[in-house]
Chain A
Amino acid sequence: MRVISRVILAAIVLLLAACAAAPVSQPFNRQAAAVSDITVLPMRHSEIDLTIVNNPGNHFGLIGLAIVESNRVPKRNWLRDALTQRDYDHVEAFRVALTRALEDRDYTLHWVPPVMESKSSQVKRHINGQRKRPGQVETDAQLDVNFGFVGYAAAGTGDNAPYRPTVVLNARLLSADGKTVLFEETILHNQVFGVPGTPVVIEPDPAYFYPDFDALEASPDQVAEGMRGAVEAVAVELARQL
């Protein structure tokens, strides 16, 4: 009985440790690695999202969760529609910004079509989106880059927790055969999620600040501009790290 309880305790500890595992940060030693041509692997499927971190409704079981979701989903859908109506595609915007920023640093990027996988893709990935079994590429290195979150997020439900454009980006540069990690980083734009470790943090532009959803809804053009700025900022920061 004692052994079983110890095993259960160990399992709980391991489970919690896995939940709290900090993202890895491995800086890139560019001088030691003769990398100029990079293949960018298709990104994990991602969609514009809207969320309130630590919504107290989440603590009231399935009923609470259902209420939270029934409130959140129409708002998220409005955000997606507002951005689509303004011809905003976060993946294409990221592709353009990252290509430009890395070309400025004398890299050549080769994007493998499709730039973003379909929702039903069977590629096996870790929870942060990185591939479990990267393959071989014909360039010097391969970039596995994925959105963990992209959209608008608020730190809480109160007036002191406004919606801001928010992006979590996980990136890993691998050798041509996919066996060696040359660089690994998580970049946060608007640090509202409790990401452990020391990810790179970009402060949000104070111009895009919406105390509640009504304020967000009243300024769709600005909301799209804010999103554009946040996605570009993480692309530029990723290029700077390389």
Chain B
Amino acid sequence: MIGLIGGLLLAVTECAAEPLALTPVPLAQFERRGKPQWLDFPQQAGCLRWSDGDTALAVLVDLGALSIPAQINIEVQSSQDAVLAPDVLVLDDRGGFVAHHRFDAFSARGAVHRLTLFANPSDAVPRYLLLQPDPQWLSRTDQRVRGQTFTAVGVIGPAVVAFNHGVEKQTQVSYGANGSFRVQWTPYQARPLNPPKR
């Protein structure tokens, strides 16, 4: 149903003819009063029409002028049953291709999936990230298993005691175009290798 509504919206919305024609989301929007902020993908997304005529919902993130080397983290938040599965295109300041990462490149980390990218002095300097739902993940579902601990407090005679009880929580998650995301960057501190004398 959501896919159908999204398709209808795309059909009637004017689509950007190239990634840089989308309204960019500046990095500052992922932070409020020093705290990281999650943004809702469907709320931020615009319609993008590729040269082959295909349309997609996409978000353009403006990284600004990064100080290189830099570490860039792209995270998507898992809700109870849905995970945003983005495909990430890294673009330079003219919209030229720098790198492409499918959702397979993300790592599951508890409640988030994270992709870490590095911008090194030897690389083309990244300026924008274009996030679109990864079509290979759109209809996929996974079973997620987590151990959960419940603590019960009781009174035995004069003593107050706590008991831990563990259960397994299983959830079925579906990957798609809904969910929240955030992008953050930090300067990367070069790490000396101190190679052995040969």
> Measuring CB to CB, which residues of chain A are less than 8 angstroms from any residue of chain B?
25, 27, 29, 31-35, 52-56, 58-59, 136-141, 154-158, 160-162, 164, 175-177, 179-182, 190-194, 198-204, 206, 237, 240-241
Contacts and interface: CB of A to CB of B under 8 A. Distances in A.
Nearest to B121: A32
A157 B165 CA distance: 8
Interface in B157-198: 161-168, 188, 190-196
Contacts of A181: 191
Interface in B75-124: 107-110, 112, 114, 116, 118, 120, 122-123
A52 B168 CA distance: 11
Contact of B166 (A27, A140, A161): A161
Contact of B191 (A32, A58, A138, A237): A32
Contact of A176 (B122, B162, B196): B196
Nearest to B148: A155
Nearest to A39: B196
Interface of B: 69, 71, 107-110, 112, 114, 116, 118, 120, 122-123, 142-149, 161-168, 188, 190-196
B168 A199 contact: no
A197 to B, nearest CB: 8
A62 to B, nearest CB: 15
A31 B108 contact: no
B84 to A, nearest CB: 17
Contact of B161 (A59, A155, A164, A175): A59
Contact of A191 (B71, B123, B147, B149): B147
Nearest to A161: B168
B109 A201 contact: yes
A138 B161 CA distance: 55
B166 A200 contact: no
Contact of B194 (A29, A32, A175, A199): A175
A241 B118 CA distance: 13
A154 B114 contact: no
Nearest to A186: B109
Contacts of B192: 175, 180
Nearest to A29: B118
B143 A27 contact: no
Given A175-B192, A176-B195, A181-B191, A203 B147 contact: no
Contact of A29 (B120, B165, B167): B120
A40 to B, nearest CB: 16
Contacts of B168: 154-156, 160-162, 192
A164 B104 CA distance: 24
A204 to B, nearest CB: 6
Nearest to B112: A198
B145 A140 contact: no
A156 B167 contact: yes
Given A175-B192, A176-B195, A32 B145 contact: no
A27 B112 contact: no
Contacts of B193: 33-35, 140-141, 175-176, 180, 182
Contacts of A164: 145
B153 to A, nearest CB: 11
